[in-house]
Structure 1
């Protein structure tokens, strides 16, 4: 029997930095959940099974009392206690809760109305709770969402594609989910923010601090205008295991996953594997066949049935949604030839200059300039300070 105060009074005291009063039962449940976060590593299915069966308070009391667990084998229980009990510390739990309150991080449990129920698809490997900085209610608005992930050492091509996809998707109301890392992740978050859309960053360490440190401003921006999420308590450091387990949350939280750029053994393939295991739609962006940074995406397309993604419309199709290009096309099909090529290179959401449109269309810039003028007279396109875009139907 291990002495540890799980009373309502101890729970209320530990939770008091958040400035929220809970009834006795709720306070004990939330406190026990915070204790479990200190004891276990992400994805601990043994803890997930006993907590799922008994609830966080009863499960923790039984562990502390050296009780019996019919749902576990004797070896599972012995090994689990060896993992968990050396981490038991009321001071550490109180410290993480105080750090969370100081940084505006909210403890979100499965009983809370903002809990994203799609995470429950992970079964015994689902997180016990989430530590959330930003708008927790945004986690209920991810029915239309896509994980945009890829290499940290992204090429200029990968960075460009990630920005284009994230900007168009976010501007059309599709949330962009990623991991806050350098490379593809950062490009996707920034583009979604610039487009005024929702973006969610899932961190491998505590939500109270950015990792990598060079993304401190970016993570702060995401927290201010979207949401930053972690399943480990504030103050926890990111580790290799936690990065891998974080990837399962990215895949489970999103309606689909798109790998923009990845090497043959990239960690992004781990995220893709979780998406496939959850039967979530999976897409991958092709690159040059000689590019090592696209070897992983080509592997996903060839060996794992990932859909080939070349535009935001492809992602919408992956999500079962209509494409912007289809919605923007006139019903009579009158535009053909060069005019169609120019419009295919444009978007209703993203402004592009004539040079970029010409590059996308594979046409000479002076020819494209003339066609844009004619299309503008027809009302099919519009111009602005930032360039050109397709006119939106209905204004």
Structure 2
């Protein structure tokens, strides 16, 4: 995996770097200015003595050379729209209404790791949920993330405790990797920060087989508002969002709201009705706001193009009886479960001529489903009787 390096520091790149340092992520007023006037004019306006923006005091003292140096020393690359590694999926955020007063396409992203963010985002699935997860939630997250990567689908999450960490670990545990990375961790702090601190080893593993991503500069620490801003990136960088466990009031619900706003699939893993941490997934399923998923096949079916069999992977293998012709099935079902039957009586029960019954009985005999006994009477074989008993159970 070799990530592309951004080009030299153009005026636009410096303006985006400056805005990312000075303005809090997803600020609605700044996003409107950028969308209307462009990043360079927006940055120049913030530095103007006539500016009344709350961000102007920061803009006046901003040191672009120092910021560039810190970015390079952090080992991260600063991406902007137009770069080869910039995920085009983020552009959908430009048309979304604000969620909890956050909105907009990020002006830039810091990315650290061996993976390629654009390639990961093209086919990724996001997994989110509770920090204080249960063993059930951890198991489901790890198993599903592992299976997704084995199916060549990368996993995006937020690197927090609980479901996030389980999802990243499951992706990293897949025995074969993806050429551009198996997982992306979207952070509410700088990519050079380890939050939570207990995840130092996890972060290191992610940089080796994926990427750490943030719209916050190196050195920045998380806040509640930054977590809310981060959630829109998780949702937009993925084709679908799967919520595994979440209490009634959960930050993961915010990510689901962003997924809906971005037009992405929303899926939920059901849980015990006695568990408070299953309240949000179960409610989303009940209210038809999310599709129920229990395993890889469920997720892939929902991601498949319209018209493909949504139950693929869940169908039982076809049995010999399933492959019988229509008339063979009629004769077989007319056979008594116990004892024997003469061909004349069987013909009446099957509503078929006797010669036709004899033809079908010969075919069923060849397939081992019936046999002819004494005095020309017919009965089911043990093979078919065993099948009937298993179906009745």
How far off its partner does 1:143 sit?
2.5
C-alpha contact (below 8 Å) 2:128/2:243 kept by paired residues: yes
CA–CA separation in structure 2 for the residues paired with 1:20 and 1:179: 24
2:28 equivalent to 1:28: no
Q: Is the 8 A contact 1:39 1:88 kept in 2?
A: no
CA displacement at 1:265 relative to structure 2 = 0.5
- Counterpart in the other structure of 2:90: 119
Aligned to 1:387: none
User: Aligned equivalents of 1:275 and 1:176: distance in 2?
Assistant: 15
- Residue 259 of structure 2 is matched in structure 1 by 275
Matched, 1:110 2:43: no
Paired position in structure 2 for 1:89: 61
The correspondence for 1:134, drawn from 99, 113, 119, is 113
Cα displacement (A) at 1:235: 0.7
Query: Structure 2 vs 1, CA of residues 52 and 140 (structure 1 numbering), >3 Å: closer, same or farther?
Result: farther
Tell me how far apart the structure 2 counterparts of residues 21 and 281 of structure 1 sit (CA, whole Å). Answer: 34
Q: Choose which of 284, 299, 311 in structure 1 pairs with 2:283.
A: 299
Alpha-carbon distance, 1:239 to partner: 0.4
Greater mean deviation of Cα atoms: 260-269 or 319-328:
319-328
Aligned equivalents of 1:221 and 1:193: distance in 2?
8
Report the counterpart of residue 365 of structure 1 in structure 2.
none
For 2:144 and 2:321, locate their aligned partners in 1 and report how far apart those are by CA, in whole Å: 26
Partner of 1:45: 28
Superposed counterparts of 1:140-159, under 5 Å = 140-159=119-138
Q: Match of 2:122, SS?
A: coil
Q: Aligned residues, how many?
A: 303
Contact 2:301–2:312 at 8 Å: present in 1 too? no
Measured in 2, the distance between the counterparts of 1:256 and 1:20 equals 28
* Alignment match, 1:160: 139
Larger Rg: 2
TM-score (norm. length: structure 2): 0.71
> Match of 2:41?
58
SS of the residue 1:206 aligns to:
coil
Determine the C-alpha separation between the residues in 1 that align with 2:172 and 2:200.
15
Structure 1 stretch 165-174 or stretch 316-325: which is displaced more?
316-325
Match of 2:318 in 1: 333
Structure 2: 5+ residue runs without aligned partners? 95-102, 323-393
Deviation at 1:328, TM superposition (A): 9.9
Q: SS state of the match for residue 77, structure 2?
A: strand
Within 1, Cα distance between the matches of 2:19 and 2:150? 39
In 1, Cα distance between the equivalents of 2:7 and 2:143? 45
C-alpha distance 323-191 of structure 1, shift in aligned 2 (>3 A): farther
Alpha carbons 2:297, 2:314 under 8 Å: kept: no
Q: Could you say which residue in structure 2 is the equivalent of 1:174?
A: 153
